[in-house]
Chain A
Amino acid sequence: QKEVEQNSGPLSVPEGAIASLNCTYSDRGSQSFFWYRQYSGKSPELIMSIYSNGDKEDGRFTAQLNKASQYVSLLIRDSQPSDSATYLCAVVFNQAGTALIFGKGTTLSVSS
């Protein structure tokens, strides 16, 4: 059974700071990794995908992947109060499909 682990938080950062969110996964064969953002009362929204070791940047977001350590992270630079949400890490259930296994999420709170 694949597992994805995240610290539940809350992670509190001041406006303008860098927020660092971490995720570990159990299946060494996992190839595809995703970060979703979920605002309270809303459905998850895809914000980043990463498939290769290293960093992938998109605006204020940077995803980092280290397959040897089975570790994925998300950095949010210049954090804004609007970034306050739950961030979900996900890996593909198996490469034969697109279903995802999710961590339980880290709640981020950005204070102004």
Chain B
Amino acid sequence: KAGVTQTPRYLIKTRGQQVTLSCSPISGHRSVSWYQQTPGQGLQFLFEYFSETQRNKGNFPGRFSGRQFSNSRSEMNVSTLELGDSALYLCASAGEAGEPTFRSYEQYFGPGTRLTVT
């Protein structure tokens, strides 16, 4: 199976702009989670979507939002960009229908989108 794909791989934006990142999960996976990775804070959970519904949300401001489509593809949006939003944004998918419950927690990551805010 093809892995998780993310587009674009690199982005440079200016403070105040907004950005949309895209994630296509592994075929058959229904859950998509988004994470922000920075050298200082490590990997931090943003939000999780399952069947087009936000199932969990991390501790990030409302400028960060996301959605999931009926084909499980997901997008995240960051509005009014700040310098501190510069990070690697990772998406991960999990949860194939019919697999054992414990297996559904195993997440597989995409290559990430490197966002630089200037």
Residues of A within 8 A of B (CB): 1, 32, 34, 36, 42-46, 49, 51, 88, 92-94, 96-105
Q: Interface 1/0s, chain B 38-50, versus A by CB < 8 A?
A: 0001111101101
Closest partner residue, chain B, to A88 (CB atom): B43
Contact A102 B95 (CB under 8 A): no
Contact A102 B107 (CB under 8 A): no
**Interface size bracket, B side:** 20 to 34
By a CB distance below 8 angstroms, the chain A residues around B41 are 104
Contact A97 B59 (CB under 8 A): no
Contact B42 A102 (CB under 8 A): yes
Contact A96 B45 (CB under 8 A): no
**In the complex, which of the residues A51, A94, A100, A102 has the most CB atoms of chain B within 10 Å of its own CB atom?**
A100
Closest partner residue, chain B, to A101 (CB atom): B45
Q: List 6 A-B contacts (CB under 8 A).
A: A34-B106, A46-B106, A93-B45, A93-B56, A98-B107, A100-B33
Interface residues of A, dominant DSSP: loop
Contacts of B44-96 to chain A: CB distance below 8 A: 44-45, 47-48, 50, 55-56, 58-59, 90, 92, 94-95
By a CB distance below 8 angstroms, the chain B residues around A49 are 102, 105-106
State the CA gap A101–B50 with chains docked (Å): 18
Contact B43 A96 (CB under 8 A): no
By a CB distance below 8 angstroms, the chain A residues around B22 are none
**In the complex, which of the residues B41, B43, B92, B104 has the most CB atoms of chain A within 10 Å of its own CB atom?**
B43
Q: Tell whether B31 is near chain A: CB-to-CB under 8 Å.
A: yes
Contact A99 B56 (CB under 8 A): yes
- Given contacts A44-B43, A49-B105, A99-B45, is CB(A94)–CB(B56) below 8 Å? yes
By a CB distance below 8 angstroms, the chain A residues around B102 are 32, 49, 51
- Given contacts A32-B102, A43-B110, A92-B105, is CB(A98)–CB(B48) below 8 Å? yes
